[in-house]
Amino acid sequence: MIDILQLLIFGIVLGGIIALGAVGVSLLFGILRFAHFAHGDMMTLGAYLAFAFVAGLGWPLLAAFPLAVLLTVGVAVLIDQVLYRRLRRKAPVILLFSSFGVALMLRAIIELVWGPDTVVYDSAIQLPWRIAGLRIKPDHVTIVIGAIVLVTALHLFLQRTRTGKAMRAMADEPDLAQVTGINTERVVIWTWIIGSALAAAAGIFLALDTRLVPLLGWNLLLPVFAAAILGGIGRPYGAIFGGLVIGISTEMSTLAIAPVYKPAVAFTIILIMLIWRPTGLLRGR
Amino acid sequence: MSLLVAEDIHGGYGGVDILNSANLRVDADEIVVIIGPNGAGKSTLIKAVFGLVPIRRGTVTFDGNAITNQRPDVLVARGMSYVPQERNVFPTLSVTENLEMGAYTRTDDYSADMAAIFDIFPVLAERRRQPAGQLSGGQRQMVAIGRALMVKPRLLLLDEPTAGLSPKFVDEILERITAINQLGVAVLMVEQNARRALELAHRGYVLVMGACRIEDTGANLLANREVGEAFLGGRAAND
Ligand SMILES: Nc1ncnc2c1ncn2[C@@H]1O[C@H](COP(=O)(O)OP(=O)(O)OP(=O)(O)O)[C@@H](O)[C@H]1O
Ligand SMILES: [Mg+2]
């Protein structure tokens, strides 16, 4: 029983991180109709930018976090305006391939600047709290609280603001959004802002939970896509749910299979979903 | 002077022209109905007026100004709004949010206009928090029309507002359209329920193969034998 609860905690931590990435993938797909392959490397970028402030300038992570998120957003919007914007009138598959190129470029730049070696934010060993037989790391609490705060902020943005509602409208029916007079370019830019900010946060949380390597985000791309598909692509709330399901089932899988096979869980879920219910559990596109 | 005038419109989707010299006009206080066989180009004509299908030859004027091939958002700002034939609501957005999206281009307070729309369609007021996708077909059409009314248009373009509805809802929607017209909104609509639509229309056009073959008052078109045989008799039995 304790084992299961312990794995559940790990699963929620991982699931929260995956959810933050999957929301962006899902929103971007909903608005621009393409799978953003550079999303994982966007996470990596956020994580390394935070590392630059922490290791380079000696800032606490809490101060590095917002600035790293902001810079990642800047990079994402810049890439969109310089590259993707010109390709939007073409087929979505061209956007998909160019995002693959962006993924490789981002990763190459990260390796060039920070090197291929593993680094960490804080090399001090964290002693877990022991509560009723469970081991809880302070970092895990930080991650879960951070994810809850961000998801709540996202929820308020989508439900309460004019731009957030326009974003949902455009994900629903892009043609109708256009004839209604919604400024679709503005919505696109906001989608990049939200998606890349959450990706950067996910990257920093993942690096906090594990270690920083240039493949950090790329390795998480499969579970992130699985979560977005599971939740119904184009549905941000579905993506959050999908993230938690993937995170928890990945950790729980170690009850039955060897931990080295953990990554296969997301892959299996993608396969099952695509065959059994391609529109997602919560009915997306 | 007519509010909307379309003259000698040619255009289509890039290949062969769908519209071949279509002409129509709508006066400021009118309900004008376009009827015609499937594939005649009725939807295409409305889309061409609204800047969604390129016009290769011909002119459209709105309130005396040329608006040929003008972008939809510009036309919305000028007082025209459009309800597509299909996919005309945002299904995951609530009724209220759909109406708010209709007012996206407005920066002033539109709460009075939303209240007025709830007066026209009281059932929407009861369902205001429900996602539009969960409503019945008739209620969805009400949301779609309400959304288009949020910009206080002078001309409302409707593409088959009663398609697929039960007779009860057909009556209700058409009656509401008359009420909207009486509030001072000109209406140009395509209708498959030709008999019912012509009864309430001031004028009508019969569009065949991309050209307006017959133009007359609603009453005269109803009495016209050719129109009756082609569009009213057989159809009415099917509807
Ligand atoms: N997006 C499109 N691309 C290419 N051709 C199209 C497109 N939409 C319609 N068409 C073609 O244009 C012609 C006219 O279509 P349109 O939709 O205007 O007819 P309609 O009179 O509205 O018919 P219906 O009563 O079925 O709604 C048809 O031959 C149709 O196949
Ligand atoms: Mg049509």
Nearest CA in chain B to A163: B104
Residue of A nearest to B98 (CA): A169
- For the domain covering B1-79+154-239, report its CATH number: 3.40.50.300
Express the helix, strand and coil content of chain B in percent, nearest 5 each.
40, 25, 35
Q: Please give chain A's pLDDT, 285 residues, in tens.
A: 788 999 999 999 999 999 999 999 999 999 999 999 999 999 999 999 999 999 999 999 999 999 999 999 999 999 999 999 999 878 888 999 999 999 999 999 999 999 999 999 987 778 889 888 888 999 999 999 999 999 999 999 999 999 999 999 999 999 999 999 999 999 999 999 999 999 999 999 999 999 999 999 999 999 999 999 999 888 899 999 999 999 999 999 999 999 888 889 988 988 888 888 777 776 554
Which pLDDT belongs to residue B237? 38
Three-state helix/strand/coil letters over chain A: CHHHHHHHHHHHHHHHHHHHHHHHHHHHHHHHCCCCCCHHHHHHHHHHHHHHHHHHHCCCHHHHHHHHHHHHHHHHHHHHHHHHHHHCCCCHHHHHHHHHHHHHHHHHHHHHHHCCCCECCCCCCCCCEEECCEEECHHHHHHHHHHHHHHHHHHHHHHHCHHHHHHHHHHHCHHHHHHHCCCHHHHHHHHHHHHHHHHHHHHHHHHHHCCECCCHHHHHHHHHHHHHHHCCCCCHHHHHHHHHHHHHHHHHHHHCCCHHHHHHHHHHHHHHHHHHCCCCCCCCC
Q: Of B9, B10, B13, which is best to mutate to test ligand 1, by the most ligand atoms within 8 angstroms of its C-beta?
A: B13
Q: Where are the domains of chain A?
A: 2-116+131-276
pLDDT of residue A274: 84
Atom 4, ligand 1: residue with shortest CA distance: B13
A167 in contact with chain B, both atoms CB, cutoff 8 A: no
Chain A residues 173-212 with a CB less than 8 Å from chain B: 173, 175-183
* Strand pairing category for B211-217 and B155-159: unpaired
Chain A residues close to B90, C-beta within 8 Å: 168-169, 172-173, 176-177
Beta carbons of B104 and A175 less than 8 Å apart: no
Ion ligand 2 neighbours (CB, 5 A) are: B 43, 85
* Contact between B97 and A175 using a beta-carbon 8 Å cutoff: no
CATH of domain A2-116+131-276: 1.10.3470
**So what's the ipTM on this one?**
0.91
Question: Closest Cα of chain B to A105: distance in Å?
Answer: 37
Q: pLDDT class for B161, splitting at 50, 70, 90?
A: very high
Delimit the domains of chain B by residue range. 1-79+154-239, 86-152
Minimum-distance CB partner of B93 among A162, A168, A181: A168
Ligand number nearest CA of B38 is 1
